[in-house]
Amino acid sequence: MHMSNIPFGTTDWSTIPRTEHTGETGAAYWQTQTFDAIRVRLVEYTPGYLADHWCSKGHILFCMEGQLDTELEDGRIFTLKPGMSYQVADNAEPHRSSTSIGAKLFIVD
**Half-sphere exposure (CA, 13 Å, Cβ side) for 109?**
21
Give the Å distances, CA to CA, from 69 to 24, 41, 98: 15, 18, 5
Kindly list the distances between the CA atom of residue 75 and the CA atoms of 11, 56, 72, 78, in Å, as whole numbers in the listed order.
37, 15, 5, 10
Expressed in angstroms, the distance from the first to the final Cα of the chain is 9
Flag whether the pTM goes above 0.85. Answer: yes
Residue pLDDT tens, the chain, 109 long: 678 888 999 999 999 999 999 999 999 999 999 999 899 999 999 999 999 999 999 999 999 999 999 999 999 999 999 999 999 999 999 999 999 999 999 999 9
Give the DSSP letter of residue 92: T
